[in-house]
Chain A
Amino acid sequence: MSRTKLLFLQVMVAVVALAIWHVGSTVPVGAAANGKPVFLLPPFFFSTPWDVIKRVATMFIEGSVYKHLMITLIEALLAFAIGASSGVLIGFWFARKPLVAAVFDPYIKMMNALPRVVLAPIFALWFGLGIWSKVWLGVTLVFFIVFFNVYQGVREVSPVVLANGRMLGMNERQLLRHVYWPAALSWVFSSLHTSVGFAVVGAVVGEYLGSSAGLGYLIHQAEGVFDVTGVFAGMVILMIFVMLIDLIVTAIEKPLLVWRPGETKTV
């Protein structure tokens, strides 16, 4: 399928969804006993697409949203950086030291099974209502994804490639650098989209549960006053934000994973 056709179909999905929303929330399907029009999607609960678009535009034009975007971005970036680097280090360590891995295995599983939302209040208590409680919430999400991927990646290094490395005269340190490390990194990159996404989720959920700035705070504020248009506007901005980050991740990983099969296409 050609790129333009695909793009057209993708846009059509959005157009149809918006059209249904628009018609449902602006065209009355009847009138109630007191003469008020009845909508399939009452604007009080669903707002209208046009109102949401106007609100988003206003937020950007007035510039009130940039501060919140910046805060969420910083939180997500910090969560990703800390979570990914600790995940790589500990994943590597566990994979190379089976005893350590065996000892910690049940605890890692337990901690990973814990829904992170329950941690948010504790983190707020420990780290305050500033950015750090959100950062650590994101870290608990990102860490496990990267950790499991690196652990898997290092353990599943092809034994033949490893034997070849040894026969080519590599010592342990060189094996680490030329065989284990690239193998593990490729797994990190393959989970990059998920882990970056989770960094944002951690930041927003943290903000939502208690903060004074950020996209999650915006949405929470709007919900507090039944401002459905504000909630949807916040969600739209959040979606655009995540999409942009995803595009950047794709652009970063492409040159780093050229050696991966499946990249070549006939022309």
Chain B
Amino acid sequence: MAEAQPAVSLNGVSVAYGLAGGGRYEAVQPVDVSVADGEFVAILGPTGCGKSTLLNIAAGLMPPSSGESVIFGQKLAGLNTVAGYLFQQDALMPWKTSRDNVAIGLEVRGMARREALALADGFLKKVGLASFGDRYPHQLSGGQRKRVALAQVLVREPKILLMDEPFGPLDAQTRLIMSELLLDLWQADRKAVMFVTHDLDEAIALSDRVLVMSAGPSSKIIGDFTIPLKRPRDIAEVRSEPEFHRLHSQIWNCLRDEVRKTYGLSDKGLADKNGSAA
């Protein structure tokens, strides 16, 4: 992608932590990640590879040890205010009802409460929770809470969506429904998306491009695959296409050794480590 201004551009970003006993733990080697405007990019990797860390850097929630993140051509200092962040864990305010949770992101901007609530109701409807506005988070199921969180993020109309394994804690059926919902909503006004996941099927089905990260420590990006599946996609159907299977085995080859490495199963070299299709 050679656009003038990528939505997100992480340039030589690395992450290292100071250890308690002195010394340094390098979590992520300097990496370059670029997400074009309107592009859906999945970052795939084994657990603990630092993919969520990259997301937090793009969000401005933590500073990189080196390198910089550039958002629409502007160097990021502090929080990324044009991004919406969908967390893996429950991030709703438990003391607010669904509609208050969705409306709050607008109210803090200075929007009148009435107007904010009206917009919130609209987005709750979009995520299929029109009649759940007065429920508190603990009165909703995990999938419903995720949908409220999605509405909470989308109602602010962010230019960039950052998602940290958002559907990770959900059961398989709910994940499928949520993925469909996400694609439907995304299709309507394509925003740039950085979607962190450890689920290969999910990554291929959703995204335009899949970046594969190696196992930590000192993880780096070892694969960059373009997903040429047509859009709009039907999540359930796309999985039966031959192209899907070709991509699946291609990316899995790249990922397999890394997954094994995290569990100490294999130390053999990364034969396909540059097996890039992009």
- Chain B interface residues toward A at CB < 8 A: 59, 61, 79, 81, 83-85, 87, 89-97, 104-105, 108-109, 136-139, 152, 156
Contact = CB atoms under 8 A, between A and B. Distances in A.
17 contacts: A158-B91, A160-B87, A160-B91, A161-B91, A163-B91, A164-B85, A164-B92, A164-B152, A166-B79, A167-B83, A168-B104, A168-B152, A170-B104, A182-B95, A259-B138, A261-B94, A264-B138
Given A182-B95, A259-B95, A261-B138, A169 B156 contact: yes
Contacts of B138: 259-261, 264
A179 interface: yes
B93 A182 contact: yes
Given A166-B79, A259-B138, A264-B139, A161 B108 contact: no
B248 to A, nearest CB: 32
Interface in A218-267: 258-261, 264
Most-contacted residue by chain B among A161, A164, A259, A261 (CB, 10 A) = A164
Given A259-B136, A259-B138, A163 B61 contact: yes
Contacts of A260: 94, 138
Interface in A186-200: 186
Given A164-B87, A167-B85, 10 more contacts: A160-B91, A163-B91, A166-B61, A168-B152, A169-B108, A170-B104, A178-B93, A178-B108, A261-B138, A264-B139
B96 A169 contact: no
Contacts of B87: 160, 163-164
Contact of A170 (B83, B108, B139): B108
Most-contacted residue by chain A among B59, B85, B91 (CB, 10 A) = B91
A168 B105 contact: yes
Contacts of A158: 91
Contacts of B104: 168, 170, 178
Contacts of B94: 161, 259-261
Contacts of B152: 164, 168
Q: Indicate the size class of the contact surface on chain A.
A: 20 to 34
A259 B91 contact: no
Contacts of B93: 161, 164-165, 178-179, 182
A171 interface: yes
Contacts of B90: 160
Nearest to A171: B108
Contacts of A167: 59, 61, 79, 83-85
Contacts of A112: none
Contacts of A58: none
Contact of A259 (B84, B96, B105): B96
Nearest to B61: A163
A264 B109 CA distance: 33
A169 B109 CA distance: 7
A15 B90 CA distance: 49
B81 A169 contact: yes
B136 A258 contact: yes
B85 A163 contact: yes
B99 to A, nearest CB: 13
A183 B92 CA distance: 13
Contacts of A182: 93, 95-96
A161 B94 CA distance: 9
A257 B41 CA distance: 41
Nearest to B90: A160
B105 A169 contact: yes
A65 B137 CA distance: 48
A161 B92 CA distance: 6
A174 interface: yes
Contacts of A261: 94, 138
B95 A186 contact: yes
A171 B79 CA distance: 11
B155 to A, nearest CB: 10
A164 B96 contact: no
A186 B84 CA distance: 28
A164 B88 CA distance: 11
Most-contacted residue by chain B among A161, A163, A168, A258 (CB, 10 A) = A168
A23 B227 CA distance: 88
Nearest to A263: B138
A160 B59 CA distance: 13
Nearest to B78: A166
The 5 closest A-B pairs by CB, nearest first: A164-B91, A261-B138, A168-B105, A182-B95, A167-B85
Nearest to B88: A160
B159 to A, nearest CB: 13
A99 to B, nearest CB: 21
Contacts of B89: 160
B105 to A, nearest CB: 4
B136 A174 contact: no
Nearest to A175: B108
A180 B220 CA distance: 37
A178 B156 CA distance: 17
